[in-house]
Amino acid sequence: MTPDYSTMDAALEMVLQAGPDLTNGFTSHASMGAEAMCARGRADAVMAWVENYRHMFTERPRAAQKIDPAAWRDALGAANRFADWVEFFRAELKAQPWPRVIRKWGALLSPGLVGAATHGIIRTGHAVRSLANQETPARLAELADGLAYWAATYEELPQRRTPRRAGMPSQAIAAVPILPVQSRGHFHNIVQALVQLDDFPPFAETISLADTDASAPAFISNLTETFARVYLTNAHDIVSTIAFIHAVDAPAALRTIAAYLDSGGVREGLSYAWQASAALYSIYGLRPPQPDSEAGSRADADELFQQAIDAGDEHAIKFTEACLREHAMNPKSCYIDAARRAIGVLKALGRV
């Protein structure tokens, strides 16, 4: 598999004219899906997919009020200030090289990476990987949009730091407090459902359960593997399917970003990526993840990714790419099983 970004900038020219959300109220995945295809060497499929997707684009908002560099925290989590954040990050990227911007802001924004169901960090991760391939004006603009979305949707989960450590995510998952099923409300989306954790005190110590002193690559592999298995045992409807897809996609995005963070930023990123994935498990989980099966699926990577493209669904595309990427570093069958199941579910629903 050789990456091919030959159509990336053309796709971004369309994407960057639109807003960050879709007419159905959900987050636009246009740039993320396009980048995932380019990363898998499928630049040939990008333009047709984006053309089909763009019927759901919304009008791009205009900046209204400059964000004060000395008081930027006041604008965190203000979704209506996305355009203001775009201008802020375009100025940041004009003033200094993009790796330096990521080093600073990847760390500063990590406590709120669960915002918008982790779409901010996921979009930023795709933008970073695209820029690592080649720096272009369109890709810098896309990074500004990714960071702006992360900042505008910034949301912190309840946390109470303790010395308690259960180990790597695969061990810590057993200690995550699960919101009782009878206490769960019915919500239209993941963002609304996460608010339930504000009134569920046992969850606060979850951030301290995983031992982030391990090497970052090993920790992320263990985290994505754990939540690929969580997906396989717990995804039972469209909302839980998307939730557990994000529980893998977000730490996979952090892997890309972590290469540009200092050691402290990496450790904090690992903590918050674990916390975000665990939060999704707490509110949607029903059963503990099962061990990886030795008899699990085998698949030709290119064929599986073609199935994701044929499904047309944005989550199928980016999840399959993430699973194949993680599988290449940690060859466990749960990644293939999870991707194949997600493709089937999302294709049947005809989400795009």
pTM score: 0.97
**DSSP 8-state class, residue 58:** E
Among 112, 131, 152, the domain boundary falls at: 152
Q: What angle do CA 243, 154, 72 make, to 5 degrees?
A: 170
Residues 137 and 211 in one domain: no
The reply to whether 15 falls in a domain is: yes
Q: What is the distance in angstroms between the CA of the first residue and the CA of the last residue of the chain?
A: 26
Please state, rounded to an integer, the average pLDDT across all residues of the chain: 95
CA distance 26 to 56: 10
8 A C-beta contact, residue 58 and residue 23: yes
Residues 66 and 126 in one domain: yes
- Please write the tens of the pLDDT for every residue from 229-239: 999 999 999 99
What does the pLDDT read at residue 352?
41
Residue 20 backbone dihedrals phi, psi, to 5 degrees: -80, -10
Residues 143 and 222 in one domain: no
What does the pLDDT read at residue 295?
59
The reply to whether 282 falls in a domain is: yes
Residues 224 and 343 in one domain: yes
**Letter string b/e over residues 281-298, b meaning 16 or more CB atoms within 10 A of that residue's CB:** bbbbbeeebeebeeebee
The reply to whether 247 falls in a domain is: yes
- Percent of the chain surpassing pLDDT 90: 93
| Residues facing residue 22 across a β-bridge | 57
What does the pLDDT read at residue 296?
58
What does the pLDDT read at residue 1?
78
Residue 331 backbone dihedrals phi, psi, to 5 degrees: -70, 75
Q: For residues 116-130, give the mean pLDDT.
A: 98
What does the pLDDT read at residue 297?
64
Nearby residues of 103 by Cβ (< 8 Å), 6 or more positions away:
260, 261, 262, 265
**DSSP 8-state class, residue 291:** P
Among 152, 176, 209, the domain boundary falls at: 152
Q: Is the pLDDT of residue 341 over 80?
A: yes
Question: In terms of residue numbers, what domain contains 75?
Answer: 8-152
Among 99, 118, 152, the domain boundary falls at: 152
- Percent of the chain surpassing pLDDT 70: 98
Give kind and range of the element (H or E) at residue 20. Answer: strand 18-22
What does the pLDDT read at residue 160?
95
Residues 76 and 168 in one domain: no
Q: By C-alpha distance, which of 220, 302, 303, 289 is closest to 258?
A: 220
110: tokens are 């990590």
The reply to whether 3 falls in a domain is: no
Residues 58 and 164 in one domain: no
Residues 228 and 145 in one domain: no
For the chain, the domain total comes to 2
- Please write the tens of the pLDDT for every residue from 94-114: 999 999 999 999 999 999 999
Residues 178 and 310 in one domain: yes
8 A C-beta contact, residue 166 and residue 209: yes
More confident residue, 295 or 239: 239
Which pLDDT band, with edges at 50, 70 and 90, does 313 fall under? very high
Residues 183 and 129 in one domain: no
Residue 243 backbone dihedrals phi, psi, to 5 degrees: -60, -45
